Amino acid sequence: MIDSIIHVKHRLLVVACFLGVVNSGFAQHDIIPLWDEVPNARYSNEKEIVEHNEIIRISLVQIPTLEVYLPAKRAATGRAVIICPGGGYRFLAYDWEGTAIAKWFNGLGITAFVLKYRLPNSESIKVSHEAPLQDAQRAMRIVRSQSYKWNINPQDIGIIGFSAGGHLASTLGIQFERPNNFIETPVDSLSARPDFMVLIYPVVTMKSSFTHKGSREALLGSHPSEALIQQFSNELQVSAATPATFIVHSQDDTAVPVENSLLLYQALKDHEVPVEMHLYSSGGHGYSMAIGKGHLNTWTDRLREWLEGL
C-alpha cells in the first residue's frame, strides 16, 4: 500500500515539477526525470520549494531531474558536462551555479545538463547521505546511455560542481563505482565514471579540521560515525581511476577553507592523476563566474584552456 502511494505521488510530482519549472520562467529546455521510481524514497507531505530572489534557490527536492542545454549545432563539439549547483546540501543555487554555467559551456560548443539532485535534509529520503550520489550516478548513466540523442561522445562527459555541489561532483568522480542498494535497471549497469572533473571552491573533506560544517551536518548528521566521515572525505578515496581534474579556490575563503582543495590536489598527485589547480589570493566563496570580480573572473579562461587541452 505504501509503495502504491509513493508511486502515485511520484507520478503527480513529475507532472507538477515539470509544469512548475516551465511556469517559473527559468527553464525553456528539456527536463528529464532521473527515475521512473525514485529509489531510497518514502512518503512524506513535503513539497519542493522554488524561491526567486537574487538567485533561484530550490530546496526539498522531490523529483530529481536533468535540464538540458544544447549548443548551436554548428558549434557542437560532442563534449558534455553535468553541472552540480552548490548550496550546502540544503538548497540548490540553481541559476547562479547551474543554468548560467550551462549557457557558458554552450558558448564553447559543450552540451550541458543541470542536475537537480535530492538534498539530504528531505523527509522524503530514507537514508539521507546516499541520495545525492545516487542521483549523480544516475545522471551520468542517463547522459551516457542517451548520448546519441544529443550527438555526444559517450567517452567525453564530465562533471562540474560548486561548493557542496563540488563535494557531490568529486564523490561521483572518485567513488563512481559505489554499488546500488536498490533494484537496478539496465541503465544502472553503465559506467558512472566522469571523463573529467571540474571543482570550483569545493567541499572535499568531512574531517572537522577543514570541512564546511553546514555541508557535513546536512549530509552526515550532527554526530556522524568515523566510518561515514572517512567514506565522504574524498581526499581519502582517490585512486588511479579518478579522472583528470581542474580545481579553483580562493585562499581567503572563510566558508570552505582552501585546504579542501589542497588536500585533494595532493591526493591526486600521489595517485598520478592529472590535475591543474588555480588558487586566487582573494575572492571569498560562492562567486560563480566571478563577473565583475576583477582578476578572479579569469578562472573561466583557465578552464577553457584546460578543456581545450584534454
* pLDDT string in tens for the chain (310-residue length): 444 444 444 444 444 444 444 333 344 589 999 999 999 999 999 999 999 999 999 999 999 999 999 999 999 999 999 999 999 999 999 999 999 999 999 999 999 999 999 999 999 999 999 999 999 999 999 999 999 999 999 999 999 999 999 999 999 999 999 998 888 899 999 999 999 999 999 999 999 999 999 999 999 999 999 999 999 999 999 999 999 999 999 999 999 999 999 999 999 999 999 999 999 999 999 999 999 999 999 999 999 999 999 9
- Label the pairing between strands 197-200 and 92-93: unpaired
**What is residue 95's DSSP assignment?**
I
Helix (H) or strand (E) holding 275: strand 275-280
pTM for this structure? Answer: 0.90
Among the listed residues 295, 290, 309, the one whose alpha carbon sits nearest the alpha carbon of residue 104: 290
The amino acid that residue 195 corresponds to is D
CB 115 within 8 A of CB 84: yes
Among the listed residues 194, 160, 158, the one whose alpha carbon sits nearest the alpha carbon of residue 174: 194
Taking the C-alpha atoms of residue 88 and residue 217, their distance in angstroms, rounded to an integer, is 9
Taking the C-alpha atoms of residue 102 and residue 117, their distance in angstroms, rounded to an integer, is 16
CA dihedral of residues 98, 204, 249, 115 (deg, nearest 10): -10
Among the listed residues 41, 35, 160, the one whose alpha carbon sits nearest the alpha carbon of residue 105: 160
SS3 content of the chain, % helix, strand, coil (to 5): 40, 15, 45
